[in-house]
Amino acid sequence: MRRKLAAAALVTATIGALALPAGAAQGAPPRPDTAPTAVSVLDHGSEAGTAVVGDRNAPGTRFHVDGVRAEGTRTLEIDYQVQETGWWCGPAATRIALSARTAPPSQADLAAQLGTTEAGTDHIGQVTGVLNQNLGTGWYETKEIPNDPPTQEQKDLLWQDIVTDIDNNYPLVANIVAPPGNQPPGYPSDETIYHYFTVIGYDDVNRTVLIADPASFGGNQIYWLSFDQLASLIATKGYAA
C-alpha cells in the first residue's frame, strides 16, 4: 500500500510462521521457522464481518486458505502472504491471485516484473500483463472506473466480472483508494491509502466479496466487504479481471 499523509463461509487456513529473521532486511525472502498449524475461522458475509486469520502480521507471514463452495457463495483456494515491504502491495496481491492457479513467484520476482518501485506499482495494467504472462493466458483484462462514484453500468460489469472470474478460479486484483470515512477494516482512519488487494470470493445472497489483503492492517487479512463499498474503493482506479 502507499499512504498519502496530511452466505456464511468457513475459511480454513494453514498458517506457517514465515516472519523475517531478526535483523534481516525488510525485503529479504522470508523462511519458515516452525511447522504450519491449521486454523479455522468462521465469518459471516451477511455482516460484512472480518476474519482475522492468526493475527500474524510480520512481513512475509504466509498461510493457506481453502476454497468454499456453497449455495450462493464461492471462495477460492489461495496462498496468502503479507506484503514484505510497504510498497509491495501490488506484487503481493498479484502473488495471491496467481497462487489460485499455479505456484507463484516470490514477491521480489513479481516486483521486478511489475516495475514496482518505492513509489508503488503505477497502474493496474501492469498487474494485468504480469498475471497473463505468468499464467500463459489472455484471461485477464484491465477494467477502469475513472469516475467517482461509479455508474450502475460499471457496478454491474464489476459484479459480473467477479462472479465469472471466481467461478472459473481466477481471483481479481483491485487497485483502490481508501480515504478516511471509506476504508476496509483496520485501515489508518486519518490517512488516504492507495493500495492493491485481491478479491477471492463472493456471496451472491448477501452481495458481499471476500478480500485477501496483503497489508494486514490491524491483523485484518481475510475479510468480507460489501460489494458497494468495493466498487466505491475502486472508483478512480481499476481492476484486473
Domains of the chain (ranges, CATH numbers): 2-240 (3.90.70.10)
Among residues 163, 169, 178, 151, the alpha carbon closest in space to that of 233 is found at: 178
Checking if the pLDDT of 147 tops 90, the result is yes
pLDDT tens for residues 177-216?
999 999 999 999 999 999 999 999 999 999 999 999 999 9
Provide the pLDDT for residue 193.
98
- Measured distance CA(132)–CA(24) in Å, rounded: 32
pLDDT of amino acid 52: 53
CA-atom Rg of the chain in angstroms: 16
**Residues 104, 79: contact at Cβ < 8 Å?**
yes
Q: How far is CA 64 from CA 79, 105, 222, in A?
A: 5, 16, 11
Confidence band (pLDDT; 50, 70, 90) for 28? Answer: very low
> Using H for helix, E for strand and C for coil, what is the string for 128-151?
HHHHHHHHCCCCCCEEECCCCCCC
**pLDDT per residue as tens digits for the range 102-130:** 999 999 999 999 999 999 999 999 999 99
Alpha helix (H) residue ranges in the chain: 89-99, 107-114, 124-135, 152-167, 227-234
Per DSSP, the three-state class of 107 is: helix
* pLDDT score of 48 more than 60: no
What DSSP character marks residue 47?
G
For residues 138 and 218, the model is more confident at 138
Q: What is the pLDDT of residue 56?
A: 62
Q: What is the pTM of this model?
A: 0.83
**Model confidence band, residue 172 (pLDDT cutoffs 50, 70, 90):** very high
pLDDT of residue 20: 26
